[in-house]
Chain A
Amino acid sequence: GNSVTQMEGPVTLSEEAFLTINCTYTATGYPSLFWYVQYPGEGLQLLLKATKADDKGSNKGFEATYRKETTSFHLEKGSVQVSDSAVYFCALSEKDGNNRLAFGKGNQVVVIP
């Protein structure tokens, strides 16, 4: 079946630091890949997506590249701000399915001023 694995544990870093959150996936077909962000007390917001191999999704300074050879979709941001503190979820959906999403466990990111 489909699954998404995110690196374990929260991420704490200082403002303007470089952020990387690792995500790898297992899928039977050719999924679309997503990063969602959840701010405290809120639902999930789509941050970026990529629908085929080598696509790069980007939004608000965040980027992730669909790497089919390593089945990865790592999230990066060059200079984080306090307002980026949130929980980040990697997810996939099979294109031929009902758009059901398989999520990773999420990573809490805390940015310290």
Chain B
Amino acid sequence: ETGVTQTPRHLVMGMTNKKSLKCEQHLGHNAMYWYKQSAKKPLELMFVYSLEERVENNSVPSRFSPECPNSSHLFLHLHTLQPEDSALYLCASSHLPSGAGGEAFFGQGTRLTVV
């Protein structure tokens, strides 16, 4: 398998549930990202991990908790979400330092619906 893989592709959860999104990259990259794509809003960067260390947290509520156990895997743990958290959650990876590139490669996303 190649590229960036996200599971599950679709998730429906209640506001009191706890669930996790998983991302795995097979590109040998050392940085991973979570982005949120909501209807009619630009893509929002949520978290950045570089060499398994969180280097950015863009004012994301604590009900979203990321985890990066190694450079190939990234999780987003979800707890006590709100309906407005329903969105497409995209994982991406890239290589740092960026050198002449700087591009990120994305997974297919997890479509999350909070009911």
Q: Which A residues have a C-beta under 8 Å from some C-beta of B?
A: 31-32, 34, 36, 42-46, 49, 51, 89, 93-101, 103-106
Contact = CB atoms under 8 A, between A and B. Distances in A.
Given A32-B98, A104-B42, A98 B31 contact: yes
Given A43-B90, A43-B109, A34 B33 contact: no
Contact of A34 (B55, B103, B107): B103
B68 interface: no
Contacts of A93: 98, 102-104
B63 to A, nearest CB: 22
B103 A43 contact: no
Contact of A99 (B6, B90, B94, B109): B94
A101 B104 contact: yes
Contacts of A104: 42
A52 B41 CA distance: 28
